[in-house]
Amino acid sequence: MLSFVAQRIVKGVFVLLAIIVMNFFLIRIAPGDPAAVMAGEAGASDAQFVQQLREKFSLDKPLPEQLFIYVKGVASLDLGFSFRQQMPVSKLIAERLPATLLLTLTAFAISLILGITFGTLAARFAGTWADTAITVSALLFYATPIFWVALMSILLFSVYLGWLPSFGYETVGANYSGLAHVKDVALHLIMPAMTIGLFFMATYTRMTRASMLEVKRLDFVKTARAKGLRDNIIQRRHVLRNALLPVVTLAGVHSGTLVGGAVLTETVFAWPGIGRLLYEALLQRDYNLLLGVFVVCSAMVLIFNLVTDLVYRLVDPRIEFAS
């Protein structure tokens, strides 16, 4: 197991390195650089000013040298300095990362729990109206753009019903502490997490349902019935457990999409996470910050994949810890 993890980590480092190199050049192909942005914001500029900015950001150095400096920094866990925010990138990301983790993990938990529950119900009552209702709503959620759900839920729950706050991570200036703070954050979390969660819930519902129907046909389910086991035990112990394996795999594959979904949701709900940071960094050509967010996002995906793989291996005794 240790060797498996170690191997995956080393592999992951190489993937990250490749991501850095590719994105490094990619980002710099984009028209406009941070100097152009800041010159624009300054309200006045001349060529000398822009040149100063470029020098300040080391943008005047040749690209390979810039890359070298960057990679060297990353090797010592230094993600560089944000030109625009005048702060170390790692600090900026560290400020925002917890919010994103909270959001994505909650969304992930919601989607898995609800998805598996509904999927199980649908499979259990396959062919009935309950199955149809669940399948159709899953399809609808699956087909609805995330941002659309976000806008609509703000209208419904914040504006018309006034139940939930429409933006942010916590009530600014309320200075809650302890349990009140947790409750406050939770209230803010519900809508963004549900927005991301619903889409994935739909996916997992469909997957669980299909997978359960498939496992139901397998021989060992017949064995279980031949034992005289009660149906709900068969469903839970034999069908569901086996049916969850592909769902776990899918969940691993989805981690990238999950992080991506955070970009839209964080923007709409003003959730102070790194998804939003990424988009803002892009619009400001804050190269180091953008790269840093990419690296962290990708690392998150890698870790997430690793965790789902580990879970898979723990659930499925057939796979041993070898690559």
Partner 1 sequence: MLKKFVLALALSGVSTMALAQEPKIGGTINAVIQPEPPGLMLALVQNGPTQMVSGNIYEGLLRYSKTLEPQPGLAESWTISPDAKTYTFKLKQGVTWHDGKPFTAADVLFSIETLKVTHARARNNLVQLDKVEAPDDYTVVFTLKQPFGPFIGIFEVGSMPIIPKHIYEGTDVKTNPANNTPIGTGPFMFKEWKKGSFIQLVKNPNYHVKGKPYIDGIYWQIIPDAAARSVAYETGKVDVLPGGSIENFDVPRVSKLPNTCVTGDGWEFFSPMAWMWLNNRSPVLANKKVRQAIMYAVDREFAKDVIWNGLGKVATGPSSSAIKFYTDNVPKYPYDPAKAKALLKEAGYKGEKVRLMPLPYGETWSRWGEAVKQNLVDVGMNIETIATDVPGSNQKNMEWDYDISFTYLYQYGDPALGVGRNYVTSAIQKGQLFNNLEGYSNPEVDKLFEEGAVATPDSKRKEIYEKVQKILVEDVPVAWQLELQFPTITNCKIKNLITTGIGVNDGFRDAWIDK
Partner 2 sequence: MTQVLSKSPAVSIKNLKIALPKSAERPYAVDGVSIDLIPGEIVCVVGESGSGKSMCAHALMGLLPDTVKTETGEVLFEGQNLLKLDESGWRNVRGRGIAMVFQEPMTALNPLMRIGEQMMEMFEAHDLLTPKERRAKALNLAKEVGLPDPERIIRAYPHQLSGGQRQRAMIAMALALEPSVLVADEPTTALDVTTQAQILKLIRNLQRSRNMAVMFITHDFGVVADIADRVVVLRHGKIVEEGSIDAVFKNPQHDYTKALLAAVPSMHPPVRAPLDENAKAVEVIGLDKTYVTSGGWFKPDRRVQAANEVTFSIMQGETVGLVGESGSGKSSVARLVMRLIEADRGTVRIGDVDLTALEGKALREQRHRIQMIFQDPFASLNPRRRVGNIISDGPIARGVAPKVAMDRARELLGMVGLDAGALDRYPHEFSGGQRQRLGIARALAMDPEIIVADEAVSALDVSVQAQVLKLLEDLKARLGLSMLFITHDLRVAAQICDRIAVMQRGVIVELKPTAQLFAAPEHPYTRELLGAVPGQSSPSQAA
Partner 3 sequence: MKKFWKLMLRNPGGVIGLVIITFAIFIALFGQMIFPTSPWRMVQRPFLPPFTNPMVTLGTDALGRDVFAGLIYGARVSLLVGLVSTTVALTIGVPLGAIAGYFGGKVDDALMRFTEFFQTIPSFPLAIVLVAILQPSIYSIVGSIAIVSWPPVARLVRGEVLSLRTREYVQAAIVTGQSNTWIISREILPNALSPVIVLASLMVANAILLESSLSFLGLGDPNLMSWGYMVGAGRTVIRQAWWITVFPGVAILISVLGMNLIGEGLNDALNPRLAKDSR
82 three-state secondary structure: strand
Question: What is the full DSSP assignment across 177-192?
Answer: -HHHHHHHHHHHHHHH
316 three-state secondary structure: coil
Q: How far is the CB of 187 from partner 3 (least distance, A)?
A: 23
Size of site (CB under 8 A) for partner 1: 56
Q: To the nearest 10°, the Cα dihedral for 8, 13, 16, 18?
A: -110
Q: Cα(first)–Cα(last) distance of the chain, in Å?
A: 10
Out of 19, 20, 38, 290, which residue is the one contacting partner 1 (CB under 8 A)?
38
The 222-251 site mask, x for binding partner 2 (CB under 8 A), equals xxxxxxxxxx-x---xx--xx---------
Q: How far is the CB of 52 from partner 3 (least distance, A)?
A: 26
Out of 8, 16, 17, 49, which residue is the one contacting partner 1 (CB under 8 A)?
49
Residue 249 contacts residue 146 (beta carbons within 8 Å): no
Out of 168, 246, 256, 260, which residue is the one contacting partner 1 (CB under 8 A)?
168
Q: How far is the CB of 13 from partner 2 (least distance, A)?
A: 15
Count CA within 13 A, CB hemisphere, residue 316.
Answer: 19
Pairing of strands 87-88, 81-82: antiparallel
Residue 213 contacts residue 125 (beta carbons within 8 Å): no
Out of 1, 9, 30, 140, which residue is the one contacting partner 1 (CB under 8 A)?
30
The 211-230 site mask, x for binding partner 3 (CB under 8 A), equals ------x-------------
Point out which residues bind partner 1 (CB under 8 A): 30-34, 36-47, 49-51, 56, 84-87, 92, 95-96, 99, 151, 154-155, 158-159, 162, 165-170, 172-173, 267-270, 272-273, 276-277, 280, 282-285
